[in-house]
Amino acid sequence: MFAPEEVDRYARHLVLRELGGPGQQRLKAARVLLVGAGGLGCAAAPLLAAAGVGVVGLIDPDVVSLSNLQRQTLYRTEDVGRLKVDCARERLGEINPHVQVEAYPAALTPETADAIVAGYDLVLDGTDDFAARFAVNAAAYGAGVAVVSGAIERWTGQVGVFAAGLTRHLTPGERQPCYRCLTPELPPDAETCARVGVIGALAGVIGAMMALEAVKLIAGVGEPLVGRLLIYDALAAVTRTVRVSADPACPVCGDGGRRP
Ligand SMILES: [Zn+2]
């Protein structure tokens, strides 16, 4: 049940026909892990906290730098030099004291990922390198949870839901793809935002879409971007959505791949 303060706080959710009290209860019971407290994490985390997600896990090894502030809007100039997860935990607590924040000042590695991801119902991947995304993907698949994945570079962003972990017990034809079905190997020409740049507001757009997809998945409403990838060309102001299929040869979820 909700306290009177929560009924008031979540009033705009409670009147939504698709969400209502049952959906808000599911949000309150949910444990969501956000990997990366950079541009995408800074946009998604306050929306998850404001929405009333019960537990928000945050993992990021970095401290705030001055060049982060152009897009990482949870942080202030005076935060430069402080751990991002410490700053973020304070801000989220100010937004919604009902939310429990679990902060990990560390990188998610293949060695640590399984133990951390296993404690959550859903993972949001806002990291900016492929090795970290691969670690998140493999751990989520092993834990049987879905990944909401976001990425931004220059003027283009993408968001998708990789639900292979949720469908791993189904027959091959019924399984959803994982991130490695889309990107089997480390791209040799992978670029970083530090080198090629990124427009700041794009982090807000894609991070907010990640939070919205997470709310849909938790509440069980609408049609999440499962097996689909939405690509946003911000310069042209055009979006397109492409299908992603499960790959039988995938190194993680394929027939010869990792099996929990
Ligand atoms: Zn796969």
Q: pLDDT digits over 46-63, tens only?
A: 999 999 999 999 999 999
pLDDT of 189: 78
Backbone phi, psi, residue 101, to 5°? -105, 125
Ligand 1 centroid–CA 96 distance in Å is 36
Spatial contact of 140 and 147, defined as CB atoms under 8 Å apart: yes
47: CB partners within 8 A, 6+ apart: 207, 208, 211, 212
What band does 258 get if pLDDT is binned at 50, 70 and 90? low
Ligand 1 centroid–CA 33 distance in Å is 20
N-to-C CA span, the chain: 36
Ligand 1 centroid–CA 99 distance in Å is 33
Ligand 1 centroid–CA 209 distance in Å is 23
pTM for this structure?
Answer: 0.96
Ligand 1 centroid–CA 253 distance in Å is 4
Ligand 1 centroid–CA 183 distance in Å is 9
What would the mean pLDDT of 67-75 be, rounded to a whole number?
Answer: 98
pLDDT of 66 over the 80 cut: yes
Among candidate residues 136, 140, 142, 109, the one with its CA nearest the CA of residue 122:
140
Ligand 1 centroid–CA 21 distance in Å is 35
pLDDT of 260: 43
Q: How would you write the chain as a 3-class SS string?
A: CCCHHHHHHCHHHHCCCCCHHHHHHHHHHCEEEEECCCHHHHHHHHHHHHHCCCEEEEECCCECCHHHCCCCCCCCHHHCCCEHHHHHHHHHHHHCCCCEEEEECCCCCHHHHHHHHCCCCEEEECCCCHHHHHHHHHHHHHHCCEEEEEEEEECEEEEEEECHHHHCCCCHHHCCCCHHHHCCCCCCCCCCHHHHCECHHHHHHHHHHHHHHHHHHHHCCCCCCECEEEEEECCCCEEEEEECCCCCCCCCCCCCCCCC
89-147 pLDDT, tens digit each: 999 999 999 999 999 999 999 999 999 999 999 999 999 999 999 999 999 999 999 99
**Tokens for 54?**
């019960």
Spatial contact of 231 and 239, defined as CB atoms under 8 Å apart: yes
Specify the higher pLDDT residue, 4 or 257: 4
Ligand 1 centroid–CA 254 distance in Å is 6
176-219 pLDDT, tens digit each: 999 999 999 988 877 777 789 999 999 999 999 999 999 999 99
**Tokens for 197?**
């740049």
**CB-based neighbours (< 5 A) of ligand 1, an ion:** 178, 180-181, 250, 252-253
Ligand 1 centroid–CA 19 distance in Å is 31
- As a whole number, the mean pLDDT across the chain is 95
Ligand 1 centroid–CA 235 distance in Å is 31
What is the rounded distance in angstroms from the CA atom of residue 250 to the CA atom of residue 242? 19
Ligand 1 centroid–CA 162 distance in Å is 9
15-40 pLDDT, tens digit each: 999 999 999 999 999 999 999 999 99
pLDDT of 257: 62
Ligand 1 centroid–CA 20 distance in Å is 34
